[in-house]
Amino acid sequence: MTEDNWFTWNEPHPLDASLRAHDFEVFADYHTHTVYSRNHGKGTIEDNLLAAREKGLTELAITDHGPAALGIGIREVKTLEVIKARTTHYNRLFADIRLLAGVEANVVSIDGRLDVPRSALKELDIRVAGLHYQIMPASVSDGFDIILNNLVLSKLSRRMRRRARLVNTKAIVEAVNHYNIDIVSHPGLKLDIDTHELARAAARRGTALEISAGHPYMTVDFIRIGLKEGVKFSIDSDAHKPANVGRLESGIRLAERAGVGAADLINARPLRARPLRAREAGPGERPDARVALAEELAPEPDQTRKNPRVRRS
């Protein structure tokens, strides 16, 4: 991108119709990957940014895998400083979208330890964390519980399945309790958890649970359990290539079926009141009175927009 075409590139795009539900619209995608997720992400930060702008999103998070993700994580924690610098650079260039520097940290022990130190997490705009079995565990015993138990032993007996569920739940709940996590990524994907227990912990800590549009595993029942516990949600793509950034339709439809509204989402806002169709004015009535009323009732963007919390250490 050159200085000559900056003003053209910086023109805002209308929100894509696929990001609108019956009574809310999604303005952000808080879970996307780039080439910094080695052998996993396919596009650059700029590629994801331009794809998000095409969708009309006004916020986008770059959340590459933490370093413990085997073969697909960032090479070292210092890479997060590079990502932060790049997002700061693009935020100076584009006025219509805000880039957030983040990470998808991995839980690497059953006591909830993450593979990104607190000092590095503190410098980020958004912190996503999740359970994965493709990790370098903190210890041999953690590897037994997180990897071997989930991949092999849990398939051999009911007792081991129950143990896996208990251990998985403990690991992610401990992470939520001890770190400032904004979003739990794809909860329950491939690693079974107790939804009630995680939702209670997340609601207590102000951590959102992700409704993943990139993984078609989540159910209406899962979301309704979270709603009952008072947890917030975030509808995200978990995009690993630019073409999937902002592709949230399946997550939006699922959220609607579960009864999720704008107030339940950290990356959505109520639909604005739309101008009513023109009609002939009655006696003493201005022709634009109904339009003016609709505009007056429409909420201001800064009153409805929800951003990820910036936590104190």
Write down the pLDDT at residue 281.
38
* Per-residue pLDDT, 40: 87
Q: 312 Cβ partners below 8 Å, 6+ apart?
A: none
Confidence at residue 271, expressed as pLDDT on a 0 to 100 scale: 87
Segment 56-104, tens digit of pLDDT: 999 999 999 999 999 999 999 999 999 999 999 999 999 999 999 999 9
Q: Are 23 and 260 in contact (CB under 8 A)?
A: no
- Maximum CA extent, the chain: 82
pLDDT < 70: residue spans in the chain: 1-10, 273-313
Bridge partner residues of 60 (DSSP):
29, 99
In the prediction, which pLDDT does 39 show?
87
Three-point CA angle 96, 98, 102, nearest 5°: 160
Query: What pLDDT was estimated at residue 70?
Result: 95
What is the distance, to the nearest Å, from the Cα of residue 69 to the centroid of all Cα atoms in its chain?
19
Q: Using one digit for the tens of pLDDT, what is the confidence trace for 210-240?
A: 999 999 899 999 999 999 999 999 999 999 9
Are 198 and 222 a contacting pair, CB within 8 Å? no
3-state secondary structure of 232: coil
CB 131 within 8 A of CB 66: no
Check residue 120 and give its pLDDT: 98
Domains of the chain: 12-304 (3.20.20.140)
The overall pTM is greater than 0.75? yes
